Amino acid sequence: MHYGKPMIVVPLFADQQLNSKAVERRGMGIILERHLLNKKTLTEALKHVMGSKEIARKCALVASILAGRPKQYRQEIAKWAKIITEHGKLDHLPLYSRNMNWIQYYSLDVIAFELCIVISALSLVVWLIRRVLSCFYTSKVKSD
């Protein structure tokens, strides 16, 4: 992406599927599945990628955006303001939080799970303390 060249992506394992789909979704290249990889499909993919002006345009746009990334926050804000004014709407940079429901957005599912674990652990500790204390403070009734 840094050099602005079109990509032919062959995902093999782990997160490469996700990354390759991101490349294809943003229009910066195409995916070639490993089991379909041969001389013919690679040649067709190369012709398609090298001949597509739309893919080249999107790759050049991303490269221009990534060029010279500043480290300072004020420079970063100024850079993005400049990019937006120069290039307009940036469809290739979607905010995935837009599609999250409020439970996921605020991580309430994670908080609820952790809260259940804490409550369970505290309940177990209280139960154990009561059992131990009941052994020491039980009174035996004598029978005649």
DSSP 95: -
Separation between Cα atoms, residue 37 and residue 60, nearest integer Å: 27
- Is the distance from CB of 31 to CB of 20 less than 8 angstroms? yes
Q: What is the pTM of this model?
A: 0.49
Structure tokens at 106: 């605020």
pLDDT score for 71: 64
What residues does each domain of the chain span?
7-94, 102-136
pLDDT score for 84: 83
Structure tokens at 139: 């009174």
Per-residue pLDDT band for 136 (boundaries 50, 70, 90) equals: confident
- In this predicted structure, the answer to whether residue 25 has a pLDDT above a threshold of 80 is yes
Give the total residue count for the chain. 144
